[in-house]
Structure 1
């Protein structure tokens, strides 16, 4: 593996991060487990950063892709009719709840967010955008402009004039001790103040993640975005919900994360899990917003027949097997178990999340790094993040069984106990 690592470092940029002191190469997968080049098996609690949504080697997805490959048509582009694209768009438009919805497919969540921002700024004839502190929306020029996490922000330059709001930062001293209702009230007052002081004329949109991914699965309390939307609607400001990580039932309590707030946004962006590993992203938006762009546009690989075959099969699998309900059950087992353990582990500052999207906030960055190494040794893959590098974020495939959830919980608690003992 050291030889492959040396080759990686010679040709891949230094800013492309690798997990672990000794990075692993995953060579096979089945169900919710993967195997590395040394033959070690892992229970996967990170799913390719929430992308292998229904696990590995899923017959329904594999067979759908093989059927498309057998036609000999791997790509045609959107200048021709694409049956799979139309079928998937119809499903997503229906599930979104957005009135008269239309769908545009891209290759990634970054592209999806760029498209949504283009739609909003065109509709409102404004470059002013609201976004959330600690939020992340992609690595491209415009997406970085609405990202509010210094570790992921390469440039202060931006095509957008962005103002950042409170809503997922209750760890700050001025908010400690506030109830959900009082915190929402303070945040709404701040939004009104921003609109009264920091902006000029019309604002295009608010873009927000219902649960912040890179932010360490921090989230606004339920109802905050409904309260925000009341204010936005007063001025015609559009609302974009970034569902790249929260979509397709992952939170267990709603099919899209924003639905936990009782809100139907003007647009939703999506990617990651929809293709179960195949590259697919997109925007679902009100038809009038989608149709309003004045120039011709396309995405060369957006709507690709192979990706559409995989995405249709994946979405059908999620719906047919009611994986949203499954995520609620297995997620509750893990989160409840972690919260019980946290009461006797001083290194754990917070356990947060819902469904199969949960995080552990540790006291120090070094403890998070240690957690990653120990869980790797124990045969479990996790992710790290958060504003200060102290959050462990985990999002297993939605197909996780109760037995696997219990197995993963036991590994996590054992590792936390080990680290807690080490720092006494």
Structure 2
């Protein structure tokens, strides 16, 4: 660790800007699924800059596209026609599944969700929002206001009235003991009861798999069942695909497709992986919703040429190399390998997830009490073994998050699983 850099960090950056590890890590470069620190140590990266380096580190196709675009023009703003932005918007609109889709680009997932909330409240003329318990949607004032995870919600002040709904965490809460069918029915009944006691909401915003919440999810079909209730009342459905989009779950290109009985959402938000490290976010919505604003607006940095070039190259690579299929195949092997390892570790309450989006929840053995100290210990032990992973969870950050780049191969999955197994065993 560079002690001088850590001291400088602490002197000029906020105390609440979290750093992993007792001795924080400076990552200097990466290639494929590996990164190196300032001391030359090599790590297998199973977190990808918080699910952002989605394809691979230093992917030649993306690097080439960025370099060539930088040699022409880096930025001009949305006040001018922008060919790379139109090209990427056309591809995303077609892939979204939303009819008559329009795309607006932002610089982050937070800004994307903020925009979706603006559109929903303007379109419906209501500032009431339904959100899921244990959710996370970003760090802006409005996004914090719909975040159902106390650890990531620093204020109760909000421009929105938020009502929190059951269902995002299958194995906790009042309906956890029900089978899937009865669980969905109970959550729908709860939603109906909630709607009967509130003013008409603008929208439900929900992550198909909760990211910061520890990769938790409801049974398939829950949001389709919610959608049927909401549609009767004109309430919009926003699918937050910031972490689940682009094939990461393996089974589907978008997380909402696990709940597709009633068709696509009214809006979806995206970010993180599409830029493979470049700053891209955005909203896809039906034209009537996207065009509902009656005031001028622009985006200075959303859709800038250099990020759009990266996104186009990355999306092309992902589709041509069937990285969704790879996430399904290699992710399936990885999750089974981790479940087998966890079976011998009493502190592991659950291994869950889909594709290359896997959560490992740790509790004090024999109880359902969260154990954040154990999660931190495993994080440290994994790093010592040459593996980088993440943390999350609505229960005191007691879940490990495993989300490698989608080009992960079988040998790397086995290597990472072995390191993680040793790290889990070290806390016993």
TM-score range, shorter chain: over 0.9
Tell me if 1:247 matches 2:245.
yes
Residues 377-398 of structure 1: per-residue CA shift (max 9 Å, x gap): 0000000110121100111000
Deviation for aligned residue 1:45:
0.2
Counterparts in 2 of 1:323-342, with a 5 A limit? 323-342=323-342
Counterparts in 2 of 1:32-43, with a 5 A limit? 32-43=33-44
Tell me if 1:343 matches 2:343.
yes
- Residue 128 of structure 1 corresponds to which residue in structure 2? 128
Deviation for aligned residue 1:417:
1.6
- Residue 69 of structure 2 corresponds to which residue in structure 1? 68
Tell me if 1:409 matches 2:407.
no
Deviation for aligned residue 1:343:
2.1
Counterparts in 2 of 1:112-151, with a 5 A limit? 112-151=112-151
- Residue 8 of structure 2 corresponds to which residue in structure 1? 7
Deviation for aligned residue 1:172:
3.3
Deviation for aligned residue 1:360:
0.4
Residues 84-119 of structure 1: per-residue CA shift (max 9 Å, x gap): 000000000000010000000000001100110111
Match of 2:205 among 204, 207, 210: 207
Residues 223-266 of structure 1: per-residue CA shift (max 9 Å, x gap): 10000000001101000000000000000000011111114100
Distance 2:74 2:391 in 1: 36
Counterparts in 2 of 1:161-200, with a 5 A limit? 161-172=161-172, 174-197=174-197, 199-200=198-199
- Residue 372 of structure 1 corresponds to which residue in structure 2? 379
After superposition, the CA RMSD in angstroms is: 0.8
- Residue 268 of structure 1 corresponds to which residue in structure 2? 268
Distance 1:174 1:383 in 2: 28
Contact 2:88 2:311 in 1 (8 A): yes
The number of residue pairs the alignment matches comes to: 417
Tell me if 1:381 matches 2:388.
yes
Distance 1:38 1:352 in 2: 34
Distance 1:61 1:404 in 2: 22
Structure 1 unaligned segments of length 5 or more: list them.
Answer: none
Determine helix, strand or coil for the equivalent of 2:400.
strand
Tell me if 1:160 matches 2:160.
yes
**Please, which moves more after superposition, 279-288 or 259-268?**
259-268
- Residue 400 of structure 1 corresponds to which residue in structure 2? 408
- Residue 86 of structure 2 corresponds to which residue in structure 1? 86
Distance 2:210 2:176 in 1: 19
Deviation for aligned residue 1:418:
1.9
- Normalised to the residue count of structure 1, the TM-score between the two structures is 0.97
Distance 1:192 1:318 in 2: 40
Distance 1:157 1:20 in 2: 31
- Residue 321 of structure 2 corresponds to which residue in structure 1? 321
Q: Which runs of 4+ in 1 moved over 4 A?
A: none
Deviation for aligned residue 1:209:
0.3
- Residue 286 of structure 2 corresponds to which residue in structure 1? 286
- Residue 54 of structure 1 corresponds to which residue in structure 2? 55
Q: 1:173 to 1:258 in 2, by over 3 A?
A: closer
Tell me if 1:102 matches 2:102.
yes
Deviation for aligned residue 1:305:
0.3
Residues 97-147 of structure 1: per-residue CA shift (max 9 Å, x gap): 100000000000011001101111111110111000000000010001100
Residues 127-170 of structure 1: per-residue CA shift (max 9 Å, x gap): 11100000000001000110011111111111111100011233
Distance 2:189 2:317 in 1: 43
Deviation for aligned residue 1:173:
5.2
- Residue 299 of structure 1 corresponds to which residue in structure 2? 299
Determine helix, strand or coil for the equivalent of 1:174.
coil
Distance 1:56 1:176 in 2: 39
Structure 2 unaligned segments of length 5 or more: list them.
Answer: 364-370
Deviation for aligned residue 1:207:
0.2
